[in-house]
């Protein structure tokens, strides 16, 4: 019996016709009729790992990228007795250097922050106190000497004892921002109908911008200093607090 040589044609007949290459290109580049020269080895495929792109030394980052890292964290919150030392440090520098006295001393600050912390507001940047307001409740129509040290829980008037800004942040409008936020904060307390404060005459125009109006000379005096008493209705601020469209 003669055996036929195992030719390529015979091998194709035995195996069932011509076989296609066991791989297909994922992408066809250039002319579709061009075929690869040989079989691609999977060992030659290198997968790229994601690498963070960095600028060469000496080339600054774009301002938008820098801003994400340099914007200070800003927070408004009620003060606590633990904040008393930081409060007094700012207040002492702001008032004693000018008038020789403080609206509140350290023990009085702790007193009000223990009894009525909800009537205070501090502005913090990166955890550092930069401005604050401390208040308490009063239950009479006008401020008196007793209103400087007492908190009357049933009162309808929020007495603003002190507003102060750290020296490195003054002349930047931060006192205005803080006072506006504080009045809106008071507007969230339904029992509080108005705010009251006393200040020197030179500061009256500043507070009038926020709805305060003079009600006459204040009965409180500190040494030779006299003050004007101002009051502000919180009805409008309460409306803004509840509904930004008011």
- Is 150 catalytic? The answer is yes
Q: What is the C-alpha to C-alpha distance for residues 200 and 1, in angstroms, rounded to an integer? A: 129
Cβ atoms of 78 and 120 within 8 Å: the answer is yes
Q: Which residues contact residue 64 at a Cβ distance below 8 angstroms, ignoring those fewer than 6 apart?
A: none
Closest Cα partner for 203 from 218, 187, 190?
A: 218
- Is 163 catalytic? The answer is yes
- Which of 150, 151, 184, 240 is the catalytic position? 150
- Is 233 catalytic? The answer is no
- Which of 161, 166, 185, 237 is the catalytic position? 161
- Which of 104, 113, 160, 207 is the catalytic position? 207
- Is 105 catalytic? The answer is no
- Which of 136, 178, 179, 234 is the catalytic position? 136
Q: What is the C-alpha to C-alpha distance for residues 83 and 128, in angstroms, rounded to an integer? A: 10
Cβ atoms of 184 and 241 within 8 Å: the answer is yes
Structure tokens at 238: 């309460």
Cβ atoms of 214 and 228 within 8 Å: the answer is yes
- Is 244 catalytic? The answer is no
- Which of 113, 163, 178, 234 is the catalytic position? 163
Q: Report the catalytic residues.
A: 136, 150, 161, 163, 207
């Amino acid at each position: 019996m003669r055996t036929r040589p195992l030719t390529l044609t015979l091998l194709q007949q035995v195996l069932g016709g011509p076989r296609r290459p066991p791989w297909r290109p994922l992408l066809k580049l250039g002319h579709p009729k061009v075929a690869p020269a040989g079989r691609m080895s999977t060992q030659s495929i290198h997968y790229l790992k994601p690498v963070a792109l960095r600028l060469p030394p000496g080339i600054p980052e774009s301002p938008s990228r820098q801003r994400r890292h340099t914007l200070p964290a800003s927070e408004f919150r009620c003060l606590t007795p633990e904040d008393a030392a930081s409060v007094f440090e700012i207040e002492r520098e702001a008032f004693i250097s000018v008038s020789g006295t403080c609206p509140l001393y350290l023990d009085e600050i702790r007193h009000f922050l223990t009894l009525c912390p909800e009537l205070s507001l501090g502005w913090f940047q990166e955890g550092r106190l930069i401005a604050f307001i401390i208040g308490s409740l009063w239950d009479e129509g006008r401020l008196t000497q007793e209103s400087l040290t007492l908190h009357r829980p049933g009162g309808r008037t929020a007495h603003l004892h002190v507003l102060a800004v750290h020296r490195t942040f003054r002349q930047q409008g931060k006192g205005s921002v803080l006072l506006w936020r504080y009045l809106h904060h008071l507007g969230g307390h339904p029992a509080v109908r108005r705010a009251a404060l006393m200040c020197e005459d030179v500061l009256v125009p500043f507070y009038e911008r926020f709805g305060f109006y003079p009600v006459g000379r204040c009965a409180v005096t500190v040494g030779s200093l006299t003050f004007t008493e101002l009051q502000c209705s919180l009805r409008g601020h309460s409306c803004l607090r509840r509904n930004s469209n008011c």
